[in-house]
Amino acid sequence: MTSNTTATLFADGFSAVRSYADRTARGWRNLTPATMKTEVLAGFTVALALVPEAVAFAFVAGVHPLVGLYAAFTVGLVTALIGGRPGMISGATGALAVVMVELVASHGVEYLFATVVLMGLLQLGAGLLRWGKFIRMVPYPVMLGFVNGLAIVIGLAQLEQFKVAGENGEHAWMSGPQLWMTLGLVALTMAVIWGLPKITKVIPAPLAAIGLTAAVVIGFGLDVPRVGDMASIDGGFPPFHLPIVPFTLETLWIILPYAVILAAIGLIESLLTLNLVGEIVDEKGGASQECVAQGAANIVTGFFGGMGGCAMIGQSMINVKSGGRTRVSGLTAALFLLLFIVVASGPIEQIPLAALVGVMVMVVIGTFAWKSFSMLGRIPRSDALVVIVVTAVTVVEDLAIAVVVGVIVSALVFAWKQATHMHIERVEETPEGKTYHVAGPLFFGSTQSFQALFSPRNDPEHVVIDFKGARVADHSGLQAIDALAARYHARGKDLRLRHLSPDCRRLLGNAGQLIDVLPDDPDYGIAADYRLRTGRTDTGH
């Protein structure tokens, strides 16, 4: 790395830190007693909703419930302090838990802690390299599919709360009075969340709904599942803990594949949630900072006995809908969660799961992009297909695979459409020869269409191809021009190329000597311009 590159990286880093400090300072200065109350209550509501989620995801991963709760606290705390979007909530998630289960089953929880640390280092590196900006490559139909799929996943996850442990230890669906009471409590919670904002906004509706439903259950002694029925959340402050694994290359090869997958899933889910929250609060940017925050959070989590985590769309929606807009709400949620674990486990364990299910169902209703149904008939069929595919893959597989599939399908559709845009705008024939005016992008997808536009056998001896209305986009386009020049040369005909950019002129091989340099030649870069930086001007011939 050169000294100039190093200086640039330090300058970029200093600028990013200063920008973050300025935004954070403005956020704290804008707080008033009223907004502070709203932020704290929003954080308290989120903390209540985090408890059963963290416990459930710990069970999925095959670890002790406190491992999930410690992850929710540490990840939530760090990302609240330095995350890319105030108001976002992070913690242990199901998308990561399903990847962890195989590692825990085969190597134990200590290897999980080491994996989480390595996962954090990878995410931190991605943030420092500013790779978060690539989230802009995710098309809007993929975002719609992501939102819809995740809403369905959150909804399906609530069905597990309608199961109770039988005498033999196996879980079975509720039935009889217990089922009807639970459904009634869920409906009561949803009704309060829907109706309270129409009367007053002094207290967040989800918090009021949880409080009212809990009061009904405790006051009447109703026999319905409560948080404590899942597992005890009683514990102490997360202890510092170095993963007890051999520090060898063998260990690295065991944990590296899991760390890469977890880092990718965590960043994808976090950055998509960042965009979604950004649309709601009308803020942009912060992608690379969020990568840094997620990385730092998982490094800390791995050293404090947590299972790792990422942004949580459900809890983020609860926070935003409850009025949480600053770092205070996320910080408060993490601190309340720690308080629950250390000193207030008893009262929290008495909260009925039905109340939390009702909150999450309202999150599902608010998260699902209902407008996508009416859009499907109006948008291009290819975009509608992407929405449906991403939604289905998110539900059946996981978020990371769904997003990758969606981006690939969108890219292929785009390339196919662009490939049809290469055409001859007009042809000029004179006694001296023939001039083709071509238009459209010349890239890997349109090279065959480009070649088919010309007939060296039937053309006159002097031919000119004018690229003023076209653009050479990659090395495949250069190869197509070279191949066409070779076809004309093989028949002993004179071919001239006009209006090619300077980098095209340098990179062309066989056809390089056929270019007419004109004053109004275009100036643009192409995907193959790496050759200019390496000093190569050949095309491999």
- The SS3 assignment for 494 reads strand
Q: For residue 534, what pLDDT is reported? A: 33
139 shares a domain with 266: yes
Contact 111, 102 (CB under 8 A): no
Same domain? For 338 and 486 the reply is no
State the Cα angle at 111 between 108 and 117, rounded to 5°.
Answer: 145
3-state helix, strand, coil in the chain (%, to 5): 65, 10, 25
Is pLDDT at 15 greater than 60 in this prediction? no
Collapsed DSSP state (helix, strand, coil) of residue 226: strand
Tokens (6 digits) for 504: 């095209």
21 pLDDT more than 70: no
Q: Please give the pLDDT value at position 299.
A: 97
Give the rounded distance of the alpha carbon of 32 from its chain centre.
32
Which residues have a Cβ under 8 Å from the Cβ of 509 and sit 6 or more positions away?
A: 482, 538, 539, 540, 541
Query: Residue 64: its pLDDT value, please?
Result: 92
Question: Would residue 260 count as lying in a domain?
Answer: yes
What is the sign of the dihedral through the CA atoms of 19, 20, 21 and 23? positive
For tokens 């091989």, name the residue: 509
> Is the per-residue pLDDT at 3 higher than 60?
no
55 beta partners = none
Which helix (H) or strand (E) segment holds residue 71: the answer is helix 65-82
From 374, 400, 434, the end of a domain falls on 374
pLDDT band at 12 (very low <50, low <70, confident <90, very high): low
For 271, half-sphere exposure in the C-beta direction (CA atoms, 13 angstrom radius) is 28
Torsion angle of C-alpha atoms 361, 362, 367, 372, degrees rounded to 10? 90
Q: Are 506 and 533 a contacting pair, CB within 8 Å?
A: no
For the stretch 259-291, pLDDT in tens is 998 998 899 889 989 988 888 877 777 899 999
- Looking at the DSSP bridge assignments, the partners of residue 429 are 434
Identify the bridge partners of residue 196 per DSSP, sorted by sequence position. Answer: none
Residue 131 has pLDDT above 70, yes or no: yes
For residue 15, being part of any structural domain is answered with no
Asked if residue 459 belongs to a domain, the reply is yes
What is the arithmetic mean of pLDDT over 411-435? 89
- Nearest Cα to Cα of residue 73 among 57, 95, 89: 89
Contact 428, 434 (CB under 8 A): yes
Q: What angle do CA 335, 94, 350 make, to 5 degrees?
A: 50
Instruction: Name the token pair of 500.
Output: 């090619």
* 20 or 277, which is more confident: 277
| Residues in contact with 470: Cβ distance below 8 Å, sequence separation at least 6, in sequence order | 422, 438, 439, 440, 441, 442
Whether residues 347 and 433 share a domain: the answer is: no
Helix (H) or strand (E) segment spanning residue 352: none
State the pLDDT at residue 179: 93
Same domain assignment for residues 209 and 135: yes
Which one is predicted more confidently, 258 or 25?
Answer: 258
DSSP label at residue 268? H
Cα 326 to chain centroid distance, Å, stands at 21
Residues 325 and 471 in one domain: no
328 and 431 housed in the same domain: no
Q: Are 458 and 488 in contact (CB under 8 A)?
A: no
Kindly state whether residues 89 and 145 are assigned to the same domain: yes
Domain presence at residue 385: no
CA distance 231 to 65: 7
Quote the CA–CA distance of 370 and 240 in Å, as a whole number.
45
Q: Rounded distance, CA 20 to CA 350, Å?
A: 40
Give me the domain span that covers residue 438.
420-534
Average pLDDT of the segment spanning 92-113: 91
Q: Decide if 526 is inside a domain.
A: yes
Contacts of 375 (CB under 8 A, 6+ apart): 144, 384
Number of folded domains in the chain? 2
Q: Which residues of 486-518 are buried (b: 16+ CB within 10 A; e: fewer)?
A: eebeeeebebbbbbbbebbeebbbbbbebbeee
146 with 293, same domain: the answer is yes
Check which CATH number belongs to the domain holding 437 and give it.
3.30.750.24
In sequence order, the 6+-apart residues with CB closer than 8 A to the CB of 17 are: none
Q: Which residue has the tokens 């007693």?
A: 33
Strands 494-498 and 163-165: unpaired
Same domain, 458 and 345: no
**Same-domain pairing of 361 and 438:** no
- Give pLDDT, residue 29: 60
Can you give the pLDDT at residue 539?
A: 37
Q: Has residue 16 got a pLDDT over 60?
A: no
Mean pLDDT of the chain: 86
Residue 6 lies in a domain: no
Is there a domain that residue 408 lies in? Answer: no
Q: Cβ(97)–Cβ(307) under 8 Å?
A: yes
Checking if the pLDDT of 8 tops 70, the result is: no
Task: Name the DSSP letter for residue 509.
Answer: S
User: Residue 493 — φ and ψ, nearest 5°?
Assistant: -110, 150
Averaging pLDDT over each range in 157-161, 184-188, 260-264, 532-536, which range is the top one?
A: 184-188
Contact in structure between 303 and 115 (CB atoms under 8 Å): no
Task: Say if residue 436 is in the same domain as residue 347.
Answer: no
- Which pLDDT value is given to residue 22? 56
3-state secondary structure of 442: strand
The per-residue pLDDT for range 150-174, each reduced to its tens digit, is: 889 888 888 888 988 766 667 789 9
Counting beta carbons within 10 angstroms of the beta carbon of residue 428, is it exposed (0 to 12), middle (13 to 18) or buried (19 or more)? Answer: exposed
Q: For residues 423 and 442, what is the distance between their CA atoms, to the nearest angstrom?
A: 10
* Tokens of residue 86, six digits: 């105030």
Please check whether residue 315 lies inside any domain of the structure. yes
Q: Which of 492, 440, 436 is nearest to 463 (CA)?
A: 436
CA atoms within 13 A on the CB side of 69: 28
pLDDT at residue 25 is higher than 60: no
Cβ neighbour number for residue 159 with a 10 Å cutoff: 10
Distance CA 251, CA 258 (A): 12
Q: What is the pLDDT of residues 212-243, one digit of tens each?
A: 999 999 999 999 999 988 888 999 999 999 99
Contact by Cβ (8 Å): 44, 339: no
One domain, residues 459 and 365: no
Note the pLDDT of residue 209: 92
Question: What is the rounded CA–CA span in Å between residue 164 and residue 225?
Answer: 8
Lowest mean pLDDT among 100-109, 263-272, 511-520: 511-520
